[in-house]
Structure 1
Amino acid sequence: MQRIILLAVIAALIAAFFLLDINQWLTLEGLQTGLARFEEWRSSAPLLVAGGFFLLYVAVTALSLPGAAVMTLAGGALFGLGWGLLIVSFASSIGATLAFLVSRYLFRDTVQARFGERLKALNAGIERDGAFYLFTLRLVPVFPFFVINLLMGLTPIRAITFYWVSQVGMLAGTVVYVNAGTQLAQLESLGDVLSPTLIGSFALLGVFPLLARKIVGFIQGRRIYKRWQKPKQFDRNLVVIGAGAGGLVSAYIGATVKAGVTLVEAHKMGGDCLNYGCIPSKTLIKTAKLANRIRHADQYGLSTGTLDINFRAAMGRVQEVISAIEPHDSVERYTDLGVDVVQGYATIVDPWTVEIAYPDGSRKNMTTRNIIIAAGARPFVPPLPGIEDSGYVTSDTLWSSWAELDAPPARLIVLGGGPIGCELAQCFARLGSRVSLVEMLPRLLLKEDEEVSAIAQAALQKDGIEVYTNSKALRCEYETEDGQRHKYLVIEGPAGEQRLPFDGLLCAVGRAARLEGYGLENLGIDTNRTIITNDFLQTTYPNIYAVGDVAGPYQFTHTAAHQAWYAAVNALFGEFKMFRADYRVIPWVTFLEPEIARVGVNEQEATEQGLDFEVTRYELDDLDRAIAEGERQGFVKVLTAAGKDRILGVTLVGEHSGELLAEFVLAMKHGLGLNKILGTIHSYPTRAEANKYAAGEWKRKHAPQRILALLKRYHAWRRG
């Protein structure tokens, strides 16, 4: 009841504010119009006017009404810099605190009860560093002050802390506004606008946010680095930890701009993608794809015979491909580029020092202005009872563990229905394994539309794979019979508990960022499954950056390389300009057959985000090149803003979808719509024409029917 009464009082006061036209006095025009009258009142009753102004300012701020900025100018105009600053500074802080308390009383319990779980991290951060967060917002107003007042009332920050931080944090901005007001009070003609003092006041208003950011950065730096001694000089400008995609690009950029760069790699140059991930898997997938083509050669008018798969040779080819690509990422190449490449294990000792442990056991400390962490990720192995005795492999270890096998495992279980699991399941099924795929979630490729997930599952089942969705792996069991050891994976799914026999077990349930062993713990760098970074890819320490799988949010080689540019440039030139990492247009491809490619939002994401969109679709069974090649399955699906040709997202399914996606990635990156794609010449007959035809479908739906009707009548008239 008390809350209802308070809400009613607040509503009445706000209504009176507008009904009595008080708001007209709280505009710049109203201030200038009534300035002489206010001066008369102040001259006759200075204390009464000062007190009334103070109370009005408190009321306006407490009720979150518009006009506080103009009242601040009025404070300078009426009372001068000294008294104006005193009155406005305390009135604004008291009013803000009253708004804070009202918000807390009316809404905090309800908000915390409903969203408490989601707000746990925010509440913990406010309890730990609330004063600093609030000071930053007051000094650099990212949000309007009245929004800060109301939102802070929903958090655990203490009222007294809110008051004094607001009092101090708003002081600098208040000085600028009140000083500008003193100059406004002296305007007698239009020419006075160009007075040096007034221009200086407004110039200060313009540069204040920049100065405030510098002040905040300085305070934050002192706070973060206070327990460390910064070196007076440095051995390097940049030390990069990890020579995967993110590390290699970071080092390349640093060397290109002639910085002193050291790249430290504990294992193999090229990282996971070259040695265990993208390159090996796509190489073996190509072999499996050719095997499948040969099995179905009769579809192309060729006779089919016995297919003899030499698995050992196929795995040997994987190593040959890796060896052919290795020079691109080699120590020699990067040394020639000017990078100091070190084979060793790096540990961050302090924010500017990296200790390198060499293979021969020696150690060396190296000081550096900046550090980029590109430590990557490792496959996650679920803690199933009995799994350690199963001889399991991961997407990293299968290339060495199975390199000498004459044939792939006869019965293979793949744990995980994401892109890696689906790709390798189809690959080994085509190479001769009897494959079962187990996925705990309701469907495969959960990030894709349901339609795409269904296509992927149907493709796997067509290759003979048994797909178990909604099925949880429970444990591994073993039995010995006639001297033979038999292995089983026990799963629980819609059909209850089942025992699946296997000869090989492949874990592909995701990858975990490498967060241990190289110093994050000692420095207290914030992590939560990945290293936590800001928009500039800075960690807890502004001179330490993180990129790639270790930083997220995407575990793609091309994203790691993309982030590396931002991290390297920010690290080396951040004193002049910082760049926020841009994730607006991130493509990805699942290398199944049919291939699945994505960029932007899909239908399920657009619906969840409440976007106003429309879908345009073109089926590949209508494309001449697809018909000629006998690869007609798939489609191009484009999401656009309702009534516009602006592309929100694209999903392609079919042969070479990953290659066709590039045109849409370019279009989205540079703001080109479907009309531009439609107006671009595409060679015939190519699969790329599908993109143009999809744009044509959109154009057909948005054809100007009235104009076309008039044109029809015009041409009929011309015929006589």
Structure 2
Amino acid sequence: MKRIKTDILVIGAGSGGLSVAAGAAQMGADVVLLEGHKMGGDCLNYGCVPSKALIATGKAAYSQQNSAQFGVADAAGIVDYAAAKDHVADVIATIAPVDSQERFEGFGVNVIREFGRFISKSEVQAGDTVVKARRIVIASGSSPLVPAIPGLENVPYETNESLFDLREKPEHLLIIGGGPIGMEMAQAHVRMGCKVTVIEGAKALGKDDPELAAVVLATLKDEGVEIAEDAQAAQIRGQEGAIEVEAEDGRVFKGSHLLVAVGRRANTERLDLEVGGIEPTKNGIKVDESLRTSNRRVYAIGDVAGGMQFTHVAGYHAGVIIRSMLFGLPSKAKASHIPWATYTDPELAQVGLTQAQAYEKHGDALEVVRFEYSHNDRAIAERKTKGCIKVMVVKGRPVGVSIVGYQAGELINLWALALANKMKMSQIAAMVAPYPTIGEVNKRAAGAYFSPRLFDSALVKRVVGLVQRFIP
């Protein structure tokens, strides 16, 4: 058995683990990185990257099929499904070198391609190597949650870890789960010529503002996606090419392929957390505000920390713990300024509190301002007028923003900056946006906050009248 010592041991080479390893090594720490599967983790290989590549294929097909509104004849937009998957594979391969073992070894990281498990509070075994570390970072990520639905074990099904390897275009794709993954894949596949049925046990896109989520759901239905809500899957039967999902209320949905997209589960089963003195939770690993576990030597970041499961959260967590581990400075993770987006068309984005959450917290102190895409000149030119922005404001500061519409995932960046830095609406209003851009939606939303204060104020009108009368 080989034994080595290091300053920092990172378990998992996904987004968070790679960020910690690269940052710590380049700032002078001795770093060991363990990865028993693929470098880049879920995001590169099975999640964000391939899903957005497939969404791009669907968007290209849809654009060809719906171009007459621009004076261009509609075309068939026929998709070669296998070629689309080649496109997905090429996108992954193009990005992969950024996350490669060779690149991180170039930073000075000792990369060991094995899974790790705790054998003491300061030691982890990876294959035939035992690593003793001053600080340990668990960044093991998450995997698709496969629920215990009767019959599922006897039926072929896909998860996000297998869907992108599928070469045969589904004739009729059944999707269990109406969250972001389910709805993104539903729209991508219906645009590629598949029939699609989404089976959701509660409400589709239920974590987002219901008014704005309804805009997305109506669009998907218009494009041909069948969305069955309050349809808790109770029984699955059939065989390859002929699958049935029966809901608790007796509804039966028939299709050729099945995608299970009901959520994620933290990857903790290999770690032997108890041996490491680390307390687990139902959703992952228990951490404090500094992302430390019950073992003070050990941090947990990203999906395994049991909070928001987004790639950018893992990257943010990496920055939080680097400050603590390398410089001994206090550093706490927050969630109030973390944005997220669902990359349907139109996109759906959120940061901070939704309208319902803001009202519950702030009551009558809350003001909600909104601006419609239909009043944005660039959106009109691009035929992208479906959507709106809602800004929740308390005492002149935004506390939450919800956007549905074209480039909502881009527009939310400004509001994430505003919430992170406790900016005021006046600072957003002071921004000068180039004309004509979709980005003007943000500025006009801020303007909508001040308009009644300026144009409907008797005091303002009185002051203006006095100035006009007495100042030459």
What residue number does 1:460 align with?
Answer: 220
DSSP-derived class of the 1:497 partner: coil
What residue number does 2:56 align with?
Answer: 286
CA distance in 2: counterparts of 1:317 and 1:307, whole angstroms:
16
What residue number does 2:194 align with?
Answer: 433
Q: Could you tell me which runs of 5 or more consecutive residues in structure 2 were left unpaired when the two chains were aligned.
A: none
Q: Which aligned pairs between 1:394-543 and structure 2 lie closer than 5 A?
A: 394-400=159-165, 402=166, 404-405=167-168, 408-441=169-202, 443-478=203-238, 486-492=242-248, 496-528=249-281, 529-543=283-297
Deviation at 1:712, TM superposition (A): 4.8
DSSP-derived class of the 1:272 partner: helix
DSSP-derived class of the 1:341 partner: strand
Q: Which aligned pairs between 1:199-278 and structure 2 lie closer than 5 A?
A: 235-278=5-48
Give the counterpart letter for 2:56 in structure 1: K
Q: Could you tell me which runs of 5 or more consecutive residues in structure 1 were left unpaired when the two chains were aligned.
A: 1-232, 358-362
What residue number does 2:311 align with?
Answer: 557
Structure 1 contact 543–571 (Cα < 8 Å) conserved: no
Give the counterpart letter for 1:535 in structure 2: E
- 1:582 and 2:334 correspond: yes
Deviation at 1:610, TM superposition (A): 4.1
Deviation at 1:662, TM superposition (A): 1.0
Deviation at 1:474, TM superposition (A): 0.8
CA distance in 2: counterparts of 1:567 and 1:714, whole angstroms:
58
367-376 or 337-346, which deviates more = 337-346
After TM superposition, the score normalised by the length of structure 2 is 0.95
CA distance in 1: counterparts of 2:442 and 2:41, whole angstroms:
34
Deviation at 1:719, TM superposition (A): 11
Deviation at 1:556, TM superposition (A): 0.5
- 1:606 and 2:327 correspond: no
CA distance in 2: counterparts of 1:592 and 1:265, whole angstroms:
32
CA distance in 2: counterparts of 1:235 and 1:382, whole angstroms:
40
Q: Which aligned pairs between 1:129-144 and structure 2 lie closer than 5 A?
A: none
Q: Percent identity at matched positions?
A: 36
Match for residue 140 of structure 2 among 375, 378, 381: 375
Shift in CA distance, 719/530, structure 1 to aligned 2, threshold 3 Å: closer
Match for residue 433 of structure 2 among 671, 682, 687: 682
Give the counterpart letter for 2:20 in structure 1: S
DSSP-derived class of the 1:520 partner: coil
Deviation at 1:578, TM superposition (A): 2.5
Give the counterpart letter for 1:351 in structure 2: K
Deviation at 1:477, TM superposition (A): 2.1
Deviation at 1:446, TM superposition (A): 1.3
Structure 1 contact 234–369 (Cα < 8 Å) conserved: no
| 1:510-531 superposed Cα distances (whole Å, 9 cap, x missing partner) | 0000111122133342111210
Pick the structure with more strand per residue: 2
Q: Which aligned pairs between 1:290-369 and structure 2 lie closer than 5 A?
A: 290-357=60-127, 363-369=128-134
| 1:405-463 superposed Cα distances (whole Å, 9 cap, x missing partner) | 2xx2111111111111111111111111111101111x211111220221122111011
Q: Which aligned pairs between 1:632-671 and structure 2 lie closer than 5 A?
A: 632-641=385-394, 644-671=395-422
Deviation at 1:251, TM superposition (A): 0.6
Deviation at 1:297, TM superposition (A): 0.8
Q: Which has the larger radius of gyration?
A: 1
Give the counterpart letter for 2:345 in structure 1: E
Give the counterpart letter for 1:714 in structure 2: L
DSSP-derived class of the 2:275 partner: helix
Structure 2 contact 277–295 (Cα < 8 Å) conserved: no
Deviation at 1:567, TM superposition (A): 2.1
Deviation at 1:486, TM superposition (A): 3.2
Structure 1 contact 616–639 (Cα < 8 Å) conserved: yes
Match for residue 597 of structure 1 among 345, 349, 355: 349
Give the counterpart letter for 1:629 in structure 2: E
| 1:62-108 superposed Cα distances (whole Å, 9 cap, x missing partner) | xxxxxxxxxxxxxxxxxxxxxxxxxxxxxxxxxxxxxxxxxxxxxxx
DSSP-derived class of the 1:437 partner: strand
Structure 2 contact 242–257 (Cα < 8 Å) conserved: no
Structure 1 contact 546–567 (Cα < 8 Å) conserved: no
Structure 2 contact 212–403 (Cα < 8 Å) conserved: no
Equivalences, count: 467
Deviation at 1:568, TM superposition (A): 2.9
What residue number does 1:709 align with?
Answer: 461
CA distance in 2: counterparts of 1:564 and 1:718, whole angstroms:
60
CA distance in 2: counterparts of 1:546 and 1:713, whole angstroms:
62
CA distance in 2: counterparts of 1:472 and 1:604, whole angstroms:
25
Deviation at 1:711, TM superposition (A): 3.9
Structure 2 contact 374–385 (Cα < 8 Å) conserved: yes
What residue number does 1:218 align with?
Answer: none
Q: Which aligned pairs between 1:57-206 and structure 2 lie closer than 5 A?
A: none
Give the counterpart letter for 2:304 in structure 1: V
CA distance in 1: counterparts of 2:35 and 2:24, whole angstroms:
16
DSSP-derived class of the 2:104 partner: helix
Shift in CA distance, 498/706, structure 1 to aligned 2, threshold 3 Å: closer
Structure 2 contact 173–258 (Cα < 8 Å) conserved: yes
Give the counterpart letter for 1:431 in structure 2: M
Match for residue 383 of structure 2 among 603, 608, 630: 630
DSSP-derived class of the 2:341 partner: strand
C-alpha root-mean-square deviation of aligned residues, in Å?
A: 1.9
CA distance in 2: counterparts of 1:613 and 1:645, whole angstroms:
10
What residue number does 1:571 align with?
Answer: 325
Give the counterpart letter for 1:624 in structure 2: D
CA distance in 2: counterparts of 1:699 and 1:379, whole angstroms:
45
Deviation at 1:674, TM superposition (A): 1.5
Structure 2 contact 216–347 (Cα < 8 Å) conserved: no
Give the counterpart letter for 1:578 in structure 2: P
CA distance in 1: counterparts of 2:272 and 2:62, whole angstroms:
48
| 1:579-628 superposed Cα distances (whole Å, 9 cap, x missing partner) | 11132300000001110111110111112334431100000101000001
Structure 2 contact 20–319 (Cα < 8 Å) conserved: yes
Give the counterpart letter for 1:365 in structure 2: V
| 1:694-719 superposed Cα distances (whole Å, 9 cap, x missing partner) | 11111102227233322453366479
Deviation at 1:340, TM superposition (A): 1.1
What residue number does 1:15 align with?
Answer: none
